[in-house]
Each structure stands twice: as structure tokens, then as C-alpha cells.
Chain A
Amino acid sequence: MNDPVDVLIIGGGASGAAVAWNLAETRMRIVCLEQGDWPQSSDYPSNGRNWESRQSEDFAISPNRRASSADYPVNDDASPIKVANFNGVGGGTVLYAGHFPRFHPSDFRVRSLDGVADDWPIDYRTLEPFYALNDRMMGIAGLAGDPAYPDKEAVMPPLPLGKTGETFGQAMNELGWHWWPCDAAINSREYEGRAPCINLGHCGHGCAQGAKSSTDITYWQEALRNRVEVRTRCRVSRIETNEDRMATGAWYFDANGEEVFQPAEIVVMACNGIGTPRILLNSASERFPDGLANSSGLVGRNLMFHPYALVRGRFDKTLDGFRGSRVFMWSMEFYETDPARGYVRGYCYQFTRGFGPVMQAINGMADGLVPWGEGHHDAYRRLFDRQAGMVSICEDLPEEINTVTLDTSLRDGNGIPAPKITYRIGENTQRMLDHSVARGTEILLKAGAQDIVTRSPLSYAGWHLLGTARMGTDPKRSVVNEWGRSHDVKNLFIVDGSVFVTSGGVNPTSTIQAIALYVSDQIKARLHDLFD
């Protein structure tokens, strides 16, 4: 058995890193167990001539395709949207695009404003200082003054618009629709010892330049300096409890496959919206027969993904192609509810540049724009460096039928049951997807695009994993309270995307991390009566 620690964090991704850093100043003994390794920037695809083929190998976004020793399989056969993640120090931030919008104030009050789902027990103002702190810790590029948000400071200048941004900016102006350079977790200049972006165009498969703010090179570096210990290749199987219904620590498989117990005073779950319910459900015991922290029956329910639609067109001028950050500009024009649209809540657009040579060919053929045979080369050259578009990120409302459960036969390399996803797209979300495809097409036409292709929903886009251990004040309707502590187990906290009450219509990581900082602040402030 290991020596006891004060705080055991399970999962070293976006939220686990933020909590570790924030708690480090307390001088408590903190250990993080992470099933994957430290990523090495020299391994990232953009180091090699074969960069595009390497994107679909060790740094592929699907855990089922990577199937490395750090990964657990996910049975997502019963879902039109397939799970994407990264299992290693940094978690999903190693592969994320770095689109870094905050939630909007209305996102926390959807029941009051629109009569759907539930209000959050916290609001934008509560999280505002933590958003700002997180922006500084991660290093966020952006431009102050976005009319879609309350005032917020920019940590560093925005990323270049490029030819693509200019083209879309002009079109949006003609339509009279909102757009703005996006907040991006990518250095536009040197920041805290990390180099600026050099437009590798590679954000989605690990940034060799270290300009993208993944938590292995931001929070974790600071946390390590403050003596937090990260134990890699350690996969937690279940949380142990005692007769007082308190967590006593966690069982995990170490790098040699030995099952070891780590005793702890406080356990913090940060395994994401799929990994966390998986471990809680796998921690079922005589005391907690339905899984740990699950007296509400809501652990693993209300899974939200953010269904995406894609709209892309061909221009008769050269744009940026694959060069440049993946993210550079957003539109919040259709974010807030407008009953005339036939659905409630809304979505944001994340504009996208073009493809690398290989992906251009693959997508061109898949979209029917690049034929086999004779016409291949001419058609390819008409597209290459001339395509651009956008994706819509649609708010997914919580529905209890969308679940993470334990698969009865599929297991990971340590024999731990794999998660099984059962998910369908709700009617409101479907109408929103359709709306976003129609408006996206309008934007592209206005910008002068031809050969417009659309995909809805994007199937390999299950990268926002939310809602499966929701936050709330009522123990019957939520898993953790308004400051992240389990209603049932008083020394168990959840800080990842599982605690989301609703999904918002923006990428979630800045909100996940703001919540992680907020919950860890609550832990610090309440240390003397934390378990009361």
C-alpha cells in the first residue's frame, strides 16, 4: 500500500491539472493518478514529412482507433456521434483545437429564460474571476470588446485572421451578422516561456511548437514545481469507501499491471464526462449498490455531446489552406434563443481554414468533388488551398436516456469494464443543426463560395463529454452540490465536464477549467469544515 495522501486527483487532463495547481499552495500532499504518459512534443506528427498520415495513428482522436496501452475502449455503437479523447497528461487538451469561448450568462439560466432543462446552481458572475484566472494560466489569445459577451480582458493579441478570416468577415458584415476573432488557447506571442504560434496548422494532433496551451505544458509545469506528484500509467479501477460512507482512496493498476491501493483524505474525480461515470459506476459496493455517489440515479445520465454540423465551400481564390491555427474566428449570431427559429437555445460557428494535401484528397473524394480517374488532378487543383467553411456547435439539452453505462463484455487492458454510450440526437438539437446548415450555406454563398458541402451531424466529433454527474442543490436531482462535492460521499469531488447541468452552445474547456478552479477554491476556503 502507498503512503496516504491528502488529495488524490484521478485524471491529469484539463480539469485535473487546474485543480492540482490551485490546491498546491495549501502544501497538502497531492498525487494525481493518470492512466497515460507525458506526451513528448518530438513525437507529434508535424515533426515529420509524413505528418498527415501520422495524424490517424498514435495521435488519432478516436481512442478505439489509437487503442494504445493508455486507452480504454468505448462502445459507442449505439450513438451516431463517436467519442474522441486523449488519454495522457494534458488529457483532451493535447489534441484540442484550442477554441476557447466562455459560456454566456444565459447558459446558466436556461430553465428561467427558456423553460427547458435546469438552471445551474452557479452563474456567470460566480465563474467570471475563475475564467479570467484560467485565461492567464492557459495563455489565451483574443480581442477585448466582443459584443457577444460581457467585458473581458484579453491576455494577448488575437491570432491572425488570414485570408480566410477576411473573406468570411466581409460576408458576415454584408449579412449584418456577428463575428469576432475567437479566444484561442494558442500563444500569439511568447508567453510564460512558451513560444508563439508559427502556423503549423496542426493544433488538432499535438503542437510541436508548444504554442498551444495543453495542460501538460501549462498548469502541470507549475504544479510540479509546487511538489504535486503525477503518477503516470496508473489506471484507477474503483474508489473505496468505509462504514462512514467516506471515500478512503482508490484502487489502481500501475504500469506493471499490479493492483495497488492509494489511501487519501480527499478524492477528486477528473476523468471527463465518460471516464468519471465509468469509475463511479464501477465502484458499486454493498454500501453503494448502484455505483458511488449515485443515490440520485443520475451518474452516467444526461450525456451531452454538442452535435456538430459542417458547411464548407470552394472559392475561386487562394485562401490559407492548411496553414495557420485551426481556430481564428467565431460567430455568436445564433447563440441566444429566438422562438421564431423553431427551437430554443442556440449554437456558435467556429470558422475553419482548409486542409493539408492528403486530407484535401480524402475529403474531396468523400464529398464527390474529386473524381477517380481522368478528372482527378484538375478537380483536386480547383479545391486545394481554396476551401474553407465552418462548423456549428449546437447546444445539446440534457436527456436522461442519453447514458454512459458499463459494457457487460468489453473491457480495457486491465480488465476494467469499458463504457457503453447510448445516445440519440434530440428534436430541438436536430432543428438547430438544420438551421445552422441553412445559415452556414447562406454565409458561404454570400462569401462567393461554390461546391458547398454539408455534413450533419459530424459523426467523429464526440469530443465534448458533458453532464453525466450533474451539479445541483437537490440531492435527488444531482450528483454533486453547487461546489462540486458529492451529495452522498462527503470527501469526493468531481471537477470535469461531468458536472455540467446544460451544455451551452460553445466548446466547454474554458468552463470546465473555470469550474475546476472554483471548486478547488471552495475546497481551500472550507478546509476546516469540508466534510460537514
Chain B
Amino acid sequence: MTSSTELVALSSEQFECLRLIVGHMIPASEKHGVPGADDPKIMADMAGTIGRDFDALSAILDIVNAAAGGHLGDLHTAEQRDLLADLRLRDSALFGVIEAVAARAYYRDDRVLKSIGVEPRAPFPQGYVVDEGDWSLLDPVRRRGAIYRDAG
């Protein structure tokens, strides 16, 4: 299938802005033994899978950089965090695209998947097992009898 989306790269300013934002969004955790979303391997993956979100993402990154007075990275970490919180408060939907782009790369990283108990593999061809369940639970539904309306 042909995709109408050309592969275009973010500018280095945009990429740096993205790295800082996703670092605030999903920081590394010692407790869970996982990297942050700004981990270099995850960032490289993220850059390659922006896909159809490219235009929306680059527009938002430009907005964030502009709100920071040029570059988000010029602010101290706490200032960055406050600015992002403020922008999100004003327009949370704006950040939905960044959350999607970040989550798509972060939550398929082997280290992260192992930490949440998911085997790092494609679903096909192995598939998964799902319990059959207890079919006797239907007995009360059967006992109640027909509930559809007679349409004549």
C-alpha cells in the first residue's frame, strides 16, 4: 500500500525539544529499572516512527520552543517542567500527539516491556492464551427466558 506520508526529519531544534519533553513525560525509574523516554535508543526509534504525525508534531514543537522564548533547552529543568505544565493546562489536547509519539517508541522497548511483564515479540504468529471462562455463569440468563420484543 502506498503511503502519502513522505519521510521528513525533525530539525535539530525540534528534536532536542522533543527529547526534553518526553524526558519530563516519562522519566527513568530506578525503582522499576527502566530508562526514560529520552533514552538515546528510544529517541532514535521515536524519530523513525513519527509517520503521519509529522506535521502535527513539528507544529507543536515549534509552539513549545516559541513559548520558551526560542528553545526549551535554554530554560532550567524546573522552568521547563513549569512551562510544559502550564501549556498542558491551557490545551491538553495539544500534547496528545507528543504523548502518542513518545508512547509508541517507549512502550515497545525491550527493557520496558520486560519490566511490565510483556514478552518483547510480535503477536503473530505465536499468539496468546486466553482462559475459556466459566460458561455456567450463563445459567441465570437462561433461566430468565426470552427478552426480545415480539414484532408481530
Contacts and interface: CB of A to CB of B under 8 A. Distances in A.
Interface residue tally on B, bucketed by range:
35 or more
Given A70-B1, A374-B27, A357 B107 contact: yes
A246 interface: no
Dominant secondary structure of chain B at its interface with chain A: loop
> What's the interface size class on A, roughly?
35 or more
Interface in B43-78: 49, 51-53
Contacts of B5: 57, 67
Interface string B20-38: 0000111101011010000
B116 A381 contact: yes
A68 B2 contact: yes
Contacts of B88: 372
Contact of B124 (A161, A166, A209, A374): A209
Contacts of A336: 147-149
Nearest to A145: B142
Contact of B144 (A43, A147, A163, A377): A147
The majority secondary structure among interface residues of chain A is loop
Contacts, number: 210
B130 A46 contact: no
Contacts of A109: 151-152
A517 B121 CA distance: 41
A113 B152 CA distance: 9
Contacts of B131: 160-163, 166, 320
Interface in B107-133: 107-108, 112-113, 116-118, 120-133
Of B117, B126, B135, B150, most buried by chain A (CB within 10 Å of CB) is B135
A373 B24 contact: yes
Contacts of B100: 56, 362
Contacts of B121: 49
Given A160-B130, A376-B27, 6 more contacts: A44-B124, A52-B104, A109-B151, A147-B145, A198-B128, A202-B124
Interface of A: 37, 43-44, 46-53, 56-58, 60, 65-70, 88, 104-106, 108-109, 112-113, 123-124, 143, 145, 147-150, 160-163, 165-166, 169-170, 172-173, 176, 178-181, 198-202, 208-209, 320, 323-324, 332-333, 335-337, 356-358, 360-362, 365-366, 372-374, 376-377, 380-381, 384-385
